[in-house]
Structure 1
Amino acid sequence: MESIANLFNLRLISKSNWLLALCASLLGIGQNGLLVMLPQLVAMTNLTLSVWAGLLLFGSMLFLPASSWWGRVSEVKGCKFVVTASLVGYLLSFSVMALVVSGLSAKIIGPATGLVGLIFSRLIYGLTVSGMVPAAQTWAMQRAGSEKRMAALATISSGLSCGRLLGPPLAALVLGFHPLAPIWLMALAPLIALLLISGQYNDPPLTTTQHQSTCFHMGLLPLLSLALLLAAAISMMQIGLAPAVGKIVTLSDAISHHIAWLLSLAAMSTLLAQFLVVRPQRLAVEPLLLAAAVVMAAGLIMMVCGNLPSLYAGIAVTSFGAAMATPAYQLLLNQKLSIGKGAGLIATSHTLGYGLCALLVPLMTSVSGQHSLLAGAFVASLLFLMVALWQVLRSTSHGAR
């Protein structure tokens, strides 16, 4: 028995970044799996759809303050501590949610008590799970070293994309056994990840180079604005799918099916970009960022055209470009800021982008209608292209000196 324990302590589990990608995939499964469950959750709890939407938004918006904080913690206590804390928080949040929904469904607890319990579960989720992806990215880059950081980021992004792709069908599959089965699945899944993570070595932080800062400064704003603009553009594009398809297809069931296929195609295109371009590191960072900006803008032009084939082609091209852009601006940020804090700030900027989209959507729809959302996403992609071009020219001029 002692020899078996020693083997486990000597990392019988390989030091693979794919285990960290598995942890990141839980975030994607949880996000998209809950969306599939919304009708059942509304029916079981007698809480309205708007209340559930507010609960989901509350948990997501807590990523805003918490992500950057976890980034700093990862540099002090190590990434293994943060990933473990995130997995425990994931398990607790979905366990509390499952218990509260069961109580509401069985009329054991009242609506007010149930709502407090659900808010508490989303509070746990937002304050803990927000550290998952930044810590996994930082840990993967520590393992990969400075030359393989792009491939490491692509591995974690691939895990997140796989989770988002598998979440809806997985939730739909287990719903056939019990209405609460998806939530219990999300609560139990982190146990496997925790067991695997416990055998992993907590890699030491990469040393800060002379070009890296340990605190925020104004020179980081262009790169953080790229993260914000990309999140806003992609979020607005996704919200704009329903009115865009509704212009072409009239039956509501057909609209839902087309949206499901479009989102699945987007996830597949994201994975292709990560495996074909980002992971093999076929382009240097600046050319990758510029190419991503051009591809993303081109895809949204296609989607604005408005016919069904152009929507399918456009979302594939846009998603391909967005998948190339994320590691590019994150690596540029890591040249100027320590990687733990950089990962946290990128996650915070993405959350700000989603929040900006949430503010702009009602304004745009009231002024120019729902069909303007894809055009708004295209404008955001043009701004992204302009900032990316300025960043690349600025980097080139500094390099020439």
Structure 2
Amino acid sequence: MTASGKSVWPLAFCAGLLGIGQNGLLVMLPQLVQMTGLTLSTWAGLLMSGSMLFLPASPWWGRVSEVKGCKFVVVASLSGYLASFALLALAVWLMAEKQLGIPAGVGVLILSRTIYGLTVSGMVPAAQTWAMQRSGTEKRMAALAVISSGLSCGRLLGPPLAAFALSLYPMAPLWLMAAGPLFALIFISRQYGDPPLEAVAHQAARWHSGLLPFLVLAALLALCISLMQIGLAPALRDYMAAPAAVSRHIAWLLSLAAIATLLAQFLIVRPQRLQIQPLLLSAAVLMSAGLGMMVAGNLPWLYAGIVVTSFGAAMATPAYQLLLNQKLSLGKGAGLIATSHTLGYGLSALLIPVISWRWGQTHLLAGAWIASAIFFIVACRLRTTASAESAR
């Protein structure tokens, strides 16, 4: 509950649906390939196309939330989520039953992912902004932690839920993902639509160059985490040869990362144990130290390193978002952060083949460590600038 007595947990549930959908689809990929006859690269392209539409759509939804309110955006995002997964499930089912040819099926799948990217891109920024509106100025960090924990829980629960549903029926995970937003819409329809907050004196209404460091931090964090996750398999192959063993260790590592993320959100961020600048600097130190452990150590150090890195990354996100919100209105700030995260993941997709070709896949973790080191430098620069401004 917030200081105003309005719960933000329904908003966290909505954000969690995004995590369930993202990781649940990854678990389903082999079955999707088998049922549709499309290649793995085709499915990867379809998933990426939906995610890349977050780039133009997230800032736009941020502006809409300031005009029409966050409830409007969350309802629109949930409706788009429902429509996109219903279309995806229908297309996959018809293709599996040979009732829909590959060209028409791919067309429906592209439509599904387009709807997803253009609508669901507003979900997390609007939920974060709505939660901060409800929390009041003093509890914004705690409100962000609740939304982030919902997203983390969704990413943690997505794979086991999808695996369990697959054991019942091949199409069951897709129907489950389509039904989830229906329940969320029922919850949200009963929520009071808080009016948009007026911009305060120190917040700008438009983009300006002073915002760039915070957006660079967001992009670097996404780049760092993406390279780390993709680099796990090559790193594990140094210690074991069996693909099944590698997959099992990756599952354990990602589960540990999700648990560490939740611990950071509940133990550090939500109780607001650190001020924003110390929180950001501590996060930068932990990320660099954790990735250094993963690069330099053995298998136990790989496990310890991903815990330290994930703990730090969970602290970093609310820190730079709150710093940005000191300079830009809430809705636009949340949209720009989401866009920067997408840019970071897109940059990772470009760098992975370059690093693999030039230095080998085993150096992907080293690339993540370099990104974390740049993150640390930018965080130190922001701390120095803030100290200089306060001394004036």
TM-score greater than 0.5 by the shorter chain: yes
Residue 15 of structure 1 is matched in structure 2 by 6
Q: CA offset at residue 206 of structure 1?
A: 2.4
Match of 1:102 in 2: 93
Contact 1:234 1:377 in 2 (8 A): yes
On the 8 A contact 2:78/2:123 being kept in 1, the answer is yes
* Structure 2, unaligned runs of 5 or more: none
Determine the C-alpha separation between the residues in 2 that align with 1:279 and 1:106.
Answer: 48
Task: Work out the CA distance in 1 between the residues paired with 2:387 and 2:9.
Answer: 34
Asked if 1:193 corresponds to 2:187, the answer is: no
Structure 2 match to 1:8:
none
Shift of 1:52: 0.3
Matching of residue 210 in structure 1 with residue 201 in structure 2: yes
Report the counterpart of residue 297 of structure 1 in structure 2: 288
Output the CA distance in 1 between the equivalents of 2:195 and 2:162: 37
Aligned amino acid, residue 235 of structure 1: S
Name the aligned partner's letter for residue 127 of structure 2: A
Structure 1 partner of 2:251? 260
User: Structure 1, residues 48-68: CA drift from partner, whole Å, max 9, x if none?
Assistant: 000000000001111111011
Cα RMSD between the aligned structures?
0.7
In 2, Cα distance between equivalents of 1:289 and 1:306: 25
Maintained 8 Å contact 2:219/2:341: yes
Structure-1 residue corresponding to 2:129: 138
Tell whether 2:227 aligns with 1:236.
yes
Following the alignment from structure 1 to structure 2, what is the Cα–Cα distance between the partners of residues 266 and 201? 35
Separation in structure 2 between the aligned mates of residue 151 and residue 394 of structure 1, nearest angstrom: 25
The aligned runs of 1:306-345 (5 Å cut-off) are 306-345=297-336
Q: Is residue 244–residue 306 contact of structure 1 (8 Å, CA) maintained in 2?
A: no
- 1:37 aligns to what? 28
In structure 2, how many angstroms separate the alpha carbons of the residues matched to 1:250 and 1:366? 21
- Residue 126 of structure 1: aligned partner: 117
Is the contact between residue 68 and residue 196 of structure 2 (CA under 8 Å) also seen in structure 1?
Answer: no
Give the match's secondary structure for 2:168: coil
- TM-aligned CA deviation for residue 177 of structure 1: 1.5
In structure 2, the partner of 1:25 is 16
- Distance of 2:136 and 2:386 partners within structure 1: 23
- Counterpart of 2:357 in structure 1 is 366
TM-score by length of 2: 0.98
* Structure 2 partner of 1:174: 165
Q: Is the 8 A contact 2:66 2:197 kept in 1?
A: no
**Shift, 1:79, TM fit:** 0.2
Query: Residue in 1 aligned with 2:237?
Result: 246
Return structure 1 stretches of 4+ with deviation > 4 angstroms: none
Cα shift at 1:15: 2.3
2:389 is the alignment partner of 1:392: no
**Residues of 1 paired with 2:352 and 2:90: CA distance?**
34
Contact 1:171 1:182 in 2 (8 A): yes
Aligned to 1:64: 55
Contact 2:76/2:119 (<8 A) preserved = yes
CA contact (8 A) 1:293 1:321 kept: yes
Give CA deviations for 1:110-131 in whole Å, capped at 9, x if unaligned.
1000000000000000000000
**Counterpart of 1:110 in structure 2: which amino acid?**
G
What displacement does 1:306 show?
Answer: 4.0
Pairing partner for 1:91 from 78, 82, 86: 82
Confirm or deny: 8 A CA contact 1:78 1:204 kept in the other structure: yes
Instruction: Count how many residue pairs are aligned between Structure 1 and Structure 2.
Output: 388
Q: What CA deviation, in whole Å up to 9, does each residue of 1:161-215 have, x standing for no partner? A: 0000000000000111110100000001111110110010111222311110000
Give me the whole-angstrom Cα distance separating, in 2, the residues matched to 1:72 and 1:207: 13
Contact 1:21 1:158 in 2 (8 A): yes
**Secondary structure, in 3 states, of the residue corresponding to 1:203?**
coil
The amino acid across from 2:13 in the alignment is L
Please point out which of 259, 274, 278 is paired with 2:269: 278
Quote the Cα distance in structure 1 between the aligned partners of 2:270 and 2:14: 19
Counterpart Cα distance in 2 of 1:62 and 1:247: 36
Secondary structure (helix, strand or coil) at the match of 1:240 reads: helix
Q: Which amino acid aligns with 1:366?
A: W
Question: Are the aligned partners of 1:42 and 1:48 in contact in 2 as well (CA < 8 Å)?
Answer: yes
Give the aligned residue type for 1:215. Answer: R
* Alignment of 1:153 onto 2:144: yes
CA distance, structure 2, for counterparts of residue 289 and residue 15 of structure 1: 28
Q: 1 CA distance for matches of 2:13 and 2:307?
A: 24
Distance (Å, rounded) in 2 between the aligned partners of 1:283 and 1:18 = 23
| Residue 358 of structure 2 is aligned to residue 351 of structure 1 | no
**Alpha-carbon distance in 1 for matches of 2:374, 2:168:** 47
Gapped regions of structure 1 (runs ≥ 5): 1-13
CA distance in 2, matches of 1:348, 1:263: 24
| Residue 400 of structure 1: how far off its partner (Å) | 1.3
Question: TM-score, normalised on structure 1?
Answer: 0.96
**Contact map agreement 1:262 1:315 (CA 8 A) in 2:** yes
